[in-house]
Amino acid sequence: MGHICQESPAQENAAAQFERQLVHAYLAGAGHDAQALVARNDDEARRLLADASQYAHEQSSEIHVRRRHLWAAHPELTSHLYE
């Protein structure tokens, strides 16, 4: 039977930091600054932030799913996690 991999607080923090970086990259690619958008109080800023957040979540989720599939296919890659 396979192991269930749960993320440690450090891994969760790293995942949150990664999503923030994705948000910033998405917004920069669209020619916007995240901090400037947060400071604004208009519909366009909220939409851009929501779009960036959705993008970051989708990318992060895809990476997480791929990692789980890799770990399931190659349990030897995760054996050190259970020692």
Tell me what percent of the residues of the chain surpass a pLDDT of 90: 52
Give CB contacts under 8 A, 24+ apart, made by 56-60. 56/19, 56/20, 56/22, 56/23, 56/26, 57/19, 59/22, 60/15, 60/18, 60/19, 60/22
User: Residue 3: which pLDDT band, with cuts at 50, 70 and 90?
Assistant: very low
Report the pLDDT value the prediction gives residue 75, as an integer from 0 to 100.
Answer: 79
Report the pLDDT value the prediction gives residue 2, as an integer from 0 to 100.
Answer: 45
The whole-chain average pLDDT of the chain stands at 85
Is this structure's pTM higher than 0.85? no
Looking at per-residue pLDDT, the higher value among 34 and 1 belongs to 34
